[in-house]
Amino acid sequence: MNTRLLMMMHVNVATVLNVGAVPHGIRRTAPLRGGTFEGPRLRGTILPASADWQLLRSDGVLEMDLRFTLQTDDGALISMSSFGLRHGPPDVIAALGRGETVDPSTYYFRTMPRFQTAHPVYSFLNRLIAVASGDRRPDGPIYTIHEVL
Amino acid sequence: MSLSINSRPLMILRLATSATHDIGSTPQGTLTIFPVTGGSFEGERLRGQVLAGGGDWVTAHESGTLTLDLRVTLETDDSELIHMTFTGVRDDANHYFRTVPRFETAAPKYAFLNRLLAIGTGDIRPDGPVHIIEEIL
């Protein structure tokens, strides 16, 4: 599989909302305080009203449903939605839960971002599939987002 | 921080489809349903047949791209059932055909499928579509 870097994204998470036990698992929502993204072809900030809707499944896997609105430095709006999975050894996941910085190679944290935009400069985003590797930091994740070529 | 994303082969999926259901022009685009009548899948860790009864809901957009929305049931050679879905993008002008498969199974032997993300590369061949699916590591 060939990929190339699309952007690095730094996400700043606000206070997590614990929705609690729902029929599918344990649900919590992580609203974003903001963030930035930067890559060879686009850069800008993540707008409020972006969040990560998370579901902790009974098999211990965390499902993530990210809905972000991106604003490029030239004013274009891009809607990004992303499905992801995070899981790993119990001690590693516990360390993440305590807000510690953990080597991201010790757990699985991958997402599949999709983009929608009306802006012609960025319409290439409408036509591509991407894969992201996440690194959960105490103040929010860093995503390395690659375009699947 | 890992800057590269690695993958490894998961399976090659071959689908057999029957005559399409042409739903026509909808607010989202032109919807064509491809019923899946069978097929096969094969990889190092799993192999078997695609059961009849699935389909691929394909929407053609004004931009010229197609978006795919597939759901099928796989049956492994040891008789376990796997629910598989994918969404995808096909852009023939740019020779781009990629999908994002997901799997659900209750079989402990194949539970690894519940925990992985995957990428498929599609290819329309004379005898039907073929998807080369890789696990994202």
Domains located in chain B, CATH noted: 7-136 (2.40.160.20)
What span, in angstroms and rounded, lies between the C-alpha atoms of A69 and A11?
12
What's residue B127's pLDDT?
A: 84
ipTM higher than the 0.90 cut: no
Q: Determine contact, residues A144/A100, Cβ cutoff 8 Å.
A: no
Question: Would an 8 Å CB–CB cutoff place B122 in contact with chain A?
Answer: no
Q: Residue range B33-51: average pLDDT?
A: 96
Beta bridge partners of A30: A52
Between strands B47-50 and B54-60, the pairing is unpaired
Residue burial B14-43, b: 16+ Cβ < 10 Å; e: rest:
bbebeeeeeeeeeeebebbebebbbbebeb
With a cut of 60, say whether residue B2 has pLDDT above it: no
The alpha-carbon gap from A52 to the nearest alpha carbon of chain B, in Å, equals 18
pLDDT tens per residue, range B65-83: 999 999 999 999 999 999 9
With a cut of 90, say whether residue A113 has pLDDT above it: yes
Instruction: Among A85, A123, A146, select the one facing B117 at the smallest CB separation.
Output: A85
Instruction: Report all structural domains of chain A as residue ranges with CATH numbers, in order of start.
Output: 3-148 (2.40.160.20)
Q: What is the mean pLDDT of chain A?
A: 95
Instruction: Among B2, B114, B134, select the one facing A104 at the smallest CB separation.
Output: B2
Question: Would an 8 Å CB–CB cutoff place B18 in contact with chain A?
Answer: no
pLDDT tens per residue, range A46-84: 998 899 999 999 999 999 999 999 999 999 999 999 999
The alpha-carbon gap from B77 to the nearest alpha carbon of chain A, in Å, equals 25
The strand ranges marked E within B1-137 are 7-17, 21-26, 29-42, 47-50, 54-60, 66-76, 81-91, 96-105, 118-125, 128-136
A135 sits in the region (left: phi over 0; alpha: psi -120 to 50; else beta) called beta
Residues of A in contact with B1 (CB under 8 A): 104, 135, 142, 144
Interchain contact, A126 vs B65, CB within 8 Å: yes
What's residue B1's pLDDT?
A: 45
Pick from A148, A134, A149, A147: nearest CA to A11: A134
Question: Would an 8 Å CB–CB cutoff place B2 in contact with chain A?
Answer: yes
With a cut of 70, say whether residue B3 has pLDDT above it: no
What's residue A48's pLDDT?
A: 83
Question: Would an 8 Å CB–CB cutoff place A105 in contact with chain B?
Answer: yes
What's residue A34's pLDDT?
A: 94
Q: Residue range B27-41: average pLDDT?
A: 93
Q: Which residues contact B20 (CB under 8 A, 6 or more apart)?
A: B32, B33, B34, B35
Its sign, for the CA torsion B77, B82, B88, B90, is positive
